[in-house]
Chains A and B, each alone.
Chain A
Amino acid sequence: MAAPVRGMIGSTSIGNTTSFQKKTRSKLVSIPGTRPSVQNGQLLVSSGVSSLDYVIGGGLAVGTLLLVEEDHYDSYSRMLLKYFLAEGVVCGHELFLASARDHPDDIMQELPSPIVDDVAGMKISEGQSQPSDPENPDTMKIAWRYQNQPKVQTALASSVRFGHYYDVSKTMEPELRQAAKCHSFYQLQETPVVTASSPLPSPYHSLLKSIQTVIRKEGFDGSTPQSKVRNVLRLGLHSLGSVLWGDDVCCKDNPAHCHALTTFLYILRGLLRTSLSVAMVTVPSHLTQNRAVMGRIIRLSDTAIALESFKGSEKETNPLYKDYHGLLHVRQLPRLNCLSCEVPDTKDLAFKLKRKQFTIERLHLPPDLSETTVSP
């Protein structure tokens, strides 16, 4: 009888009902919450929103930078940041959160709670649940294939699934949140360091130093020997370029530090490329007067999306958009280790935030050419 093969290549996930394991030839690092890309073998992490993962080509590649252009009131971009961090907590990744306006602890307390399959509630266990309980006297006689299944799905500490769903009406349990290691950087509490010789203004310089210290100390760049399990560092940088970061690119036409943010992003990408980390940066692009600067910022990041919410604009009453909360523009998709990236069939996307899901949908179908068939 042919046994179906489920689960990831080489990983013995608990959900397998067969003992068949595909022999793995790849030397891919198996970190929880990551999976290899089908196009180019890059290691991907989920951004927390599964439809966003689909739009950007399967997920965020480790070592890259995701740029999110904020909507006018920073409501949905902040939501995306919280999804990103919540996904990190659920997958057991380490977090680094930097913000200038709200204290990082406040943002962490607002993380949405993950939706678990089991209705009986979730208990936090120390590790993954054991596949078989040797003390259990009643071995199954008929359904013996299910002998090794756990009795109740309780463990959420390190989930091997890729991409989870969150309930935005509830906040994450404090125990779950505190189980994740989180480094924070709050700009208003940092003492300004006089860096006369650096081209970067002090807040960006200290932020870079702080990020590099965390990467080096926790061994994300491979500098410390492999004594512990490898993990991914998720960096969330909120509202870079705003005035609170000491940058005037958003308030002046000819800013004095016009290259500060671009230099910062360049060096940040250099740090990301040499370590197992992913960064999500939100920028209030609607405040920048200079479109050329935004073009450069987009070029300096790997994946770039922009959110445009209908709240307060005349599009709110447009019948075409009545089901949605805003438009999502994909400004740039990365081509990593390959010549051609996954090209989306249409760029007209709209999003809506429901209680249990942040969905991104196509507004209309693209023209149907003979070479590619578009499934409706």
Chain B
Amino acid sequence: MQTVQSDFILVSDRRADASFLIHHYLSFYLRAGCKVCFLGLVQSFSHYSAVGQRLGVSLAQAREKGQLVFLEGLKESFGVLLQDTSQETQPLSYLRSPGAGLEGLFRFVESCVRQSGDGNAGESWGPPVLLIDDLSVLLSLGVSVGAILDFTLYCQATVCSELQGNMVILVRCEEEDADDDEEGSNLLQRGLVHQCNLALHVEGLPTGYCRDIHGQMEVWWRQRGETIYNQRKIFHFKVHDKGASFFARGTSSAVL
């Protein structure tokens, strides 16, 4: 019996754009045949679909087959805001009452990852995967850091521990503020780093803007089951049309 490694991967960025990693993980898990639950809170479905096309997966097909469940946050947001009755169980209920927490969203995720073998020609998918892009937008909508951390804890308990699946979450941070930001994204990121297995942090180059090297990424392997190791490495990267290339610091082809 093989031990299935279930990962909670945190992707974060500061004044840079780490969404290329989310596109990569989406196409990676779809190609691997896993059941994917994607909470797309900041972009439309056609955006991911177009990028997925270049990376070799068809999101529309995956959605039809039932392999991909896509929650489009932007499209339904206005309708939810205008509704007279706010139901707690609705996934986007945080738009109407941000102080009430994310229980509706969690119920949606739970129902999605627990469904297996939908009866679509008896196809059974691999372990479920939860992808969120991006979680820090909920802070802009008024949800508290505590509620978000509760939500991720519930998701981790369900998806990773119980169902042996994986989770990839994108969090976008602001600059470190001198005065303590109570409800800031930095607090959220610190809390999530504590919960995760692997933290990928994307930033711009510390020396300034460069056209050929788009930034640096720090990889931090954290606690993993029995072994507790703490290893951090920094790579430089450049994003292409069909992916990104990573290289050790100072070895960009533009410089050598």
Contacts and interface: CB of A to CB of B under 8 A. Distances in A.
B240 A340 contact: yes
Contact of B181 (A198, A292, A370, A372): A292
B44 interface: yes
B81 A267 contact: yes
A370 B255 CA distance: 7
Given A300-B140, A335-B17, A372-B211, A291 B241 contact: no
Interface stretch (A13-21, A44-52, A269-277, A307-315): A269-277
B78 A208 contact: yes
A267 B77 contact: yes
Given A197-B84, A372-B211, A291 B174 contact: yes
A206 interface: no
Given A199-B142, A335-B19, A339-B241, A292 B81 contact: no
A212 interface: yes
Contacts of A269: 74
Interface in A357-376: 366-367, 369-372
Contacts of B139: 296
Interface in A72-106: none
A273 B44 contact: yes
A292 B75 CA distance: 26
Interface string A272-296: 0110000000000000000110011
B180 to A, nearest CB: 12
Nearest to B50: A337
B140 A339 contact: no
Contact of B51 (A266, A299, A337, A370): A337
Interface in A291-326: 291-292, 295-296, 299-300
B228 interface: no
A212 B210 CA distance: 41
Given A266-B77, A292-B177, A339 B23 contact: yes
Contacts of A295: 174-175
Interface string B36-76: 00000000101100110011000000000000000001111
Nearest to A299: B172
Give the residue among A336, A339, A344, A367 with the most B Cβ atoms within 10 A.
A339
B81 A198 contact: yes
Interface stretch (B95-103, B118-126, B157-165): B95-103
Chain A interface, DSSP helix/strand/loop, else mixed: loop
B143 to A, nearest CB: 9
Given A300-B137, A337-B51, A340-B241, A270 B78 contact: yes
A263 B140 contact: yes
Interface in B192-245: 209-212, 214, 239-244
B20 interface: yes
A161 interface: no
Contact of B50 (A200, A208, A338, A346): A338
Interface in B136-154: 136-137, 139-142
Interface string A206-226: 001100100000000000000
A122 B75 CA distance: 43
A259 B211 contact: no
Contacts of A340: 20, 214, 239-241
A345 interface: yes
B50 A40 contact: yes
A262 B19 CA distance: 20
B35 to A, nearest CB: 24
A230 interface: no
A1 interface: no
A347 interface: yes
Interface string B76-95: 11100110101000000001
A183 B64 CA distance: 40
B253 interface: yes
B97 to A, nearest CB: 7
A200 B78 CA distance: 12
Contacts of A267: 77-78, 81, 95
A29 to B, nearest CB: 15
B140 A296 contact: yes
A259 B97 CA distance: 12
B142 A259 contact: yes
A36 to B, nearest CB: 14
A199 B98 contact: yes
Nearest to B141: A263
A264 to B, nearest CB: 10
Given A270-B74, A372-B211, A339 B254 contact: no
B104 interface: no
B136 to A, nearest CB: 8
17 contacts: A200-B81, A212-B78, A262-B140, A263-B140, A266-B74, A266-B140, A270-B74, A292-B175, A292-B181, A292-B185, A299-B172, A336-B47, A337-B51, A339-B55, A340-B240, A371-B252, A372-B212
Given A271-B78, A300-B140, 15 more contacts: A198-B81, A199-B142, A209-B82, A212-B78, A267-B77, A267-B78, A270-B77, A337-B47, A337-B51, A340-B241, A343-B211, A343-B214, A369-B255, A370-B254, A372-B212
Interface of B: 17, 19-20, 23, 44, 46-47, 50-51, 54-55, 73-78, 81-82, 84, 86, 95-98, 136-137, 139-142, 172, 174-175, 177, 181, 184-185, 209-212, 214, 239-244, 252-255
The 9 closest A-B pairs by CB, nearest first: A337-B50, A371-B254, A262-B140, A270-B74, A259-B142, A295-B174, A369-B254, A270-B77, A340-B239
